[in-house]
Structure 1
């Protein structure tokens, strides 16, 4: 990944870790994922990975996201549950706000209701 995409990963990780109860989860050496109550809500690459890839659970916007040329249903059967994997080139990279929306949707899909209420109370 370039320094630009490493910076994006750092920004997305910081954004996701600000959600109530969010924590890091690193089940594989090339991942540094985000979870809530030990349920992953974002599969992120580790810093310095060769390729940018983000997988999130999108129960509402997943079908539209899959229309993007760099999006595919997540492997290992997760795609059947609404997970989408994004592998854009640097030229295809969506805006930061779009990444944040997808992360929040995924967090809300995986977090317990009490933590979603806490997030909503923050405004």
Structure 2
């Protein structure tokens, strides 16, 4: 497992109503147990760090600026999902990827939950 993957998973799980699931052997972090807001895996090698997140606000800029980013597969790229993969030994831009996780959570989470979180209200 890539050295940065556990930190990214832990960060995603700090967001309200986030939970970890394992469909297809990969990691899917869902909000409310229903809607996936980020996919993570070991990448092509199994020892890397791959992340797929929905970036409706920054996606086009991310794709034009970062060589490591590409539209997500399986048709998800058409809906604003972006994929990045870093192999073992490569440093992943952890803070940037945490920003992706935040943006994706805000895009997928129920709007009332996003509003409460943005206002600093703790969910019940």
Taking structure 2 as the reference length, what is the TM-score of the superposition? 0.83
**Where has structure 1 moved over 6 Å in runs of 4 or more?**
none
**Contact 1:16–1:22 under 8 Å retained in 2:** yes
Name the SS for the 1:86 alignment partner.
strand
| Runs (5+) with no aligned partner, structure 2 | none
Cα RMSD of the aligned pairs, angstroms, is: 2.0
Give the aligned partner of residue 12 of structure 2: 16
Distance 2:12 2:120 in 1: 15
Q: How does the TM-score come out when normalised to structure 1?
A: 0.84
The structure where helix makes up a greater share of residues is 1
Preserved CA contact (<8 Å) 1:20 1:118 = no
Higher strand share: 2
In structure 1, the gaps of 5 or more residues are none
Q: 2:61 aligns with which of 61, 64, 67?
A: 64
How do 1:1-123 residues align onto structure 2 when only pairs under 5 Å count?
1=1, 5-6=2-3, 8-29=4-25, 31-37=26-32, 38-45=34-41, 49-67=46-64, 68-89=66-87, 90-91=89-90, 93-94=92-93, 96-122=94-120
